[in-house]
Structure 1
Amino acid sequence: MSEDNATNQEAVKSEKKRNTILTILSFAFIIGGAIWILSLFFDFHRYETTNNAQVESYINSVTARATGHVASIHFDANQFVHKGDTLVILDDEEYRIKVKQAEADLAVAEGNLHSLEQSIITAISNEAASKDKLSGDMADLEKAQKDYERFKNMYADSAVTRNQYDQVVSKLQSTKAYLAAGQKSLLASGSVTKQSHTNLEAANATVARKKADLDNALLQLSYTRIIAQADGYVGDRTISVGELINANQVVATMVLNQKIWVTANFKETQIEKMKIGQEVTITIDALGDKEFKGKVTGFSPATGAKFSMVEPDNSTGNFVKITQRIPVKIDFEASAKELEEVKPGMNVTVEIKK
């Protein structure tokens, strides 16, 4: 009996000890939970937080500006390229032929222009000769008129014969005819000169147009070399050698190596006290919750729903008020070297102090 009593007493002591430990642990958990809840409460009052946020960057589509078959490709997927690097070369034989045609057309137009320039020189010379001849005819007319007046008086006094008088009259009439013909010739020469100048203006316009055609042909030829317009990383390669590329077709997608930022979608009830310049703590999920500092730099002019392709329609009568999200732009304060591991599209958690 004594052994049974001793065993029971030992079991009771062990049970009391265990209950005491459990009680202490329970109180510790309760106190810890209360402290955690209080810390969250105070944090919620001091910070606005959202995990509806991603890293953003400028992403450009590299498009072809000419149609042609791919002759060679000079980039691989995920490769870093510099501005001006050649990415794709298209077969340019057709474009080179067009350049030669444009050069030939320009040569013909320039030849016509030079011919017209010479014709203008000739027309001006003919007009000057007509003017000189007209001046001579006018002098002859003046002399013939004086001879006629003198012989007319002499004939009246019977100082000259009828035959001599008739010769003077004939000379006067022929001189007037020559003068009239000279005036008409001068008018014709002036008209030819004006027409030549008009033709020269048209020829100059034709040469200018042919030069523009040549420039356009050379420009189209340059489009057969597709180059990078900025520094950045090329995405997946979706084309292959020999493939027919059409104008405006996307041949590559580039993530520009310029700037990255965070777009955080806060609830509309969270942005009341937010303002530009507020400090932000950015935690990146993919980097083991690594933290970066940032600043608020802008607010969207409308909610995200307003920018969606299909805006929600609440006019059906089944209206339920849904809290909207306002996109907030946040810039990193870290250097480019510190942000090398940060990639566009990564999920982040943003915490803004009120």
Structure 2
Amino acid sequence: MSEENTKDETIQIEDKKRNKILKVLSFIFLIAGGLWILSLFFDFSRNESTNNAQVESYINNIAARATGHIITIKFEANQAIKKGDTLILLDDQEYRIKVKQAEADLASAEGNLHSLQQATVTSLSNQAATKAKLAGDMASLEKAQKDYERFRNMYADSAVTANQYDQVVAKLKSTQAYLKAGENELQASGSIAKQSQTNLEAAIATVARKQADLEAAKLQLSYTIITSPIDGYVGERNLSVGDLVNTNQVVASIVLKQKIWVTANFKETQVGKIKEGQKVTIIVDALNDKKFNGIVVNSSPATGAKFSMVEPDNSTGNFVKITQRIPVKIEFEASPEDLIDVKPGMNVTVEIKK
């Protein structure tokens, strides 16, 4: 009988313990639920935080500016490169031929220019000689007219014979004819000189165009050597020797490692408490939650949805009020050496003190 009473007492004690534990757990859950409900209406946090944030960096997409087959690739994926380093060499045989053709065209145009320059000099000399000859003819005409006037008066007074008078008249008419011919010759030489000058100007323009063609051909030839415009780290390598590269085709992407920042997408209800110059704690997930100091630089002038390719249309009748996100730019307050392990695209958590 005593053993049964002892067992009953033990069971009762265990039941009481169990009930106490259940009451305590229920009380804890009740308090936790109450705090959770209160947190929906009141903000008890001392920080504004978001885990919708990533490390960003400028990425330079290197595009080919000429078409050709790849003969050499001088980089590997994830390789550090410097500004001016050669990345890819294209087959340049066709472009070298075009340069030689442009050089030959320029030489021909320059030869034609020299010929026209000489022709212009000759035409101007002929024009000057014709002017001098015309001046002599005018002097001869003046003398012939004076002789004619004198002999006409003398013939009227029977001081000279008719034969002598006829000779003076013939001389006057001959001199007038020579003068007329000289004027026509001067006009013709002037036209020739003017045409020569026009041809010379056209030849000068042709030489300038051929020089431009040569420079363009050399420029196209230079595009067969693709170099890096910046210091950074090259991304994936998707090309092989022998591949055909077309103009404007991206051949490599370079990450500008010296400049990284964080883009944190805060809820629209949070941004009112975020100001430029506020201190920030940046927690990098990939580095075992390593913390870095940062500072708020600026915030986007619009929500992320406004910059999307297909903006939501709230006038369709399917409107559901969804909290929007505003991108905030945050810069690291750390040296490049300290950020060597922080890579663009990493997820981070951002905390900003209120």
- Matched with 1:244 is 244
Number of aligned residue pairs: give it.
354
Q: Determine helix, strand or coil for the equivalent of 2:101.
A: helix
The 5-angstrom pairing of residues 122-161 of structure 1 reads 122-161=122-161
- Matched with 1:76 is 76
Q: Work out whether 1:187 is the aligned partner of 2:183.
A: no
CA spacing shift, 1:55–1:4, aligned 2, 3 Å: same
- Matched with 1:204 is 204
Q: CA separation in 1, counterparts of 2:258 and 2:117?
A: 56
Deviation for aligned residue 1:273 = 2.1
Deviation for aligned residue 1:25 = 11
CA spacing shift, 1:102–1:258, aligned 2, 3 Å: same
Measured against aligned partners, the alpha-carbon deviations of 1:108-146 in whole angstroms (never above 9, x if no partner) come to 111111111111100110011011101100111111111
Q: CA separation in 1, counterparts of 2:273 and 2:27?
A: 38
Q: CA separation in 2, counterparts of 1:36 and 1:82?
A: 54
Deviation for aligned residue 1:32 = 12
CA spacing shift, 1:334–1:34, aligned 2, 3 Å: farther
Measured against aligned partners, the alpha-carbon deviations of 1:312-350 in whole angstroms (never above 9, x if no partner) come to 233332321100000111111111111111100000000
Q: CA separation in 1, counterparts of 2:255 and 2:191?
A: 66
Stretch of structure 1 that moved more, 273-282 or 219-228: 273-282
Deviation for aligned residue 1:83 = 0.8
Counterpart amino acid of residue 230 in structure 1? I
CA spacing shift, 1:245–1:207, aligned 2, 3 Å: same
- Matched with 2:253 is 253
CA spacing shift, 1:218–1:130, aligned 2, 3 Å: same
CA spacing shift, 1:317–1:38, aligned 2, 3 Å: closer
Deviation for aligned residue 1:246 = 0.9
Q: Work out whether 1:219 is the aligned partner of 2:219.
A: yes
Q: CA separation in 1, counterparts of 2:47 and 2:290?
A: 19
Report the RMSD for the aligned CA atoms in angstroms. 3.2
- Matched with 2:309 is 309
The 5-angstrom pairing of residues 1-354 of structure 1 reads 44-354=44-354
CA spacing shift, 1:109–1:226, aligned 2, 3 Å: same
Counterpart amino acid of residue 165 in structure 2? Y
Counterpart amino acid of residue 345 in structure 2? G
Counterpart amino acid of residue 67 in structure 1? T
Measured against aligned partners, the alpha-carbon deviations of 1:298-324 in whole angstroms (never above 9, x if no partner) come to 111111111112222333323211000
Report if aligned partners of 2:258, 2:336 keep a CA contact under 8 Å in 1.
no
Report if aligned partners of 2:123, 2:192 keep a CA contact under 8 Å in 1.
yes
Q: CA separation in 2, counterparts of 1:180 and 1:232?
A: 82
Q: CA separation in 1, counterparts of 2:12 and 2:318?
A: 65
Deviation for aligned residue 1:24 = 10
Counterpart amino acid of residue 51 in structure 1? N
Deviation for aligned residue 1:191 = 1.3
Q: CA separation in 1, counterparts of 2:261 and 2:90?
A: 36
Q: Determine helix, strand or coil for the equivalent of 1:315.
A: helix
Q: CA separation in 1, counterparts of 2:69 and 2:266?
A: 48
Q: CA separation in 1, counterparts of 2:258 and 2:298?
A: 18
TM-score between the two structures when normalised by the length of structure 1: 0.89
Counterpart amino acid of residue 215 in structure 1? E
Counterpart amino acid of residue 216 in structure 2? N
Counterpart amino acid of residue 133 in structure 1? K
Q: CA separation in 2, counterparts of 1:44 and 1:211?
A: 74
Q: CA separation in 2, counterparts of 1:322 and 1:12?
A: 54
CA spacing shift, 1:301–1:14, aligned 2, 3 Å: closer
Identity %: 72
Counterpart amino acid of residue 69 in structure 2? H
Q: CA separation in 1, counterparts of 2:330 and 2:23?
A: 48
- Which runs of 5 or more structure 1 residues have no equivalent in the other structure? none
- Which runs of 5 or more structure 2 residues have no equivalent in the other structure? none
TM-score between the two structures when normalised by the length of structure 2: 0.89
Q: CA separation in 2, counterparts of 1:116 and 1:318?
A: 79
Q: CA separation in 2, counterparts of 1:328 and 1:177?
A: 96
Measured against aligned partners, the alpha-carbon deviations of 1:218-257 in whole angstroms (never above 9, x if no partner) come to 0110111111111111111101011111111111111113
CA spacing shift, 1:5–1:232, aligned 2, 3 Å: same
Measured against aligned partners, the alpha-carbon deviations of 1:70-113 in whole angstroms (never above 9, x if no partner) come to 01000001001111111000000001001111111111111111
CA spacing shift, 1:44–1:106, aligned 2, 3 Å: farther
Counterpart amino acid of residue 172 in structure 2? L
